[in-house]
């Protein structure tokens, strides 16, 4: 068991070294990693995963198409003229959704704009997981905007471009 753990740790170290080498040698990937890591809640693993899954953000026409690809867009269930309920569609990448979930959990508890957004949603009666789902959708939209405009995330820039890309302001 100890020998197997040692081998697995060595493999992990080799894989991490190879990823670091790729990021250092490829300017486009390195820039994308830095852009994504400028967003609250997104660390190195989430940034690498998003780049691996998406590849090129210019393939998406807008923020909503990107959110749908990630599987965090809303899906409503209707019967006649009444809307029964809505939920996350989960039609996109399950791996991307898992990464967005972890990023949203971190961002919702770091004391920044996402924690304020979570608190405001919970004050309106939404449960914790519903608020996290809303933050996942918001982070996916921000990823699209940051990546497509090649501008690092900042609160000032976020407020400036929110109308242009249909992002609602964080309270």
pLDDT tens track for 35-66:
999 998 898 889 999 999 998 888 999 988 89
Tell me the whole-structure pTM to 2 decimals.
0.79
pLDDT tens track for 117-133:
899 889 998 889 888 98
Q: Which residues pair with 85 in a beta bridge?
A: 77
Taking the C-alpha atoms of residue 86 and residue 130, their distance in angstroms, rounded to an integer, is: 11
Domains in the chain: boundaries: 2-161
pLDDT tens track for 97-111:
999 999 999 999 887
Whether 128 contacts 115, CB under 8 Å = no
Which helix (H) or strand (E) segment is 50 a member of? helix 44-54
Taking the C-alpha atoms of residue 136 and residue 141, their distance in angstroms, rounded to an integer, is: 9
């Amino acid at each position: 068991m100890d020998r197997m753990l040692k081998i697995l740790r060595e493999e992990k170290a080799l894989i991490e070294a190879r990823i670091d080498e790729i990021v250092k040698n490829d300017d486009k990937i390195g820039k994308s990693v830095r852009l994504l890591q400028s967003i609250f809640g997104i660390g190195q693993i989430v940034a690498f995963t998003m780049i691996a899954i998406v590849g090129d953000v210019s393939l998406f026409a807008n923020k909503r198409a990107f959110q749908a690809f990630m599987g965090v867009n809303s899906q409503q269930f209707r019967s006649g003229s009444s809307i029964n309920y809505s939920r996350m569609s989960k039609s996109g990448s399950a791996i991307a959704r898992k990464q967005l979930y972890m990023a949203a959990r971190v961002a919702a508890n770091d004391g920044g704009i996402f924690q304020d957004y979570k608190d405001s949603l919970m004050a309106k009666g939404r449960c914790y997981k519903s608020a996290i789902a809303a933050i996942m959708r918001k982070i996916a939209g921000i990823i699209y905007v940051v990546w497509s405009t090649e501008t690092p995330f900042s609160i000032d820039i976020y407020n400036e471009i929110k109308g242009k890309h249909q992002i609602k302001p964080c309270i």
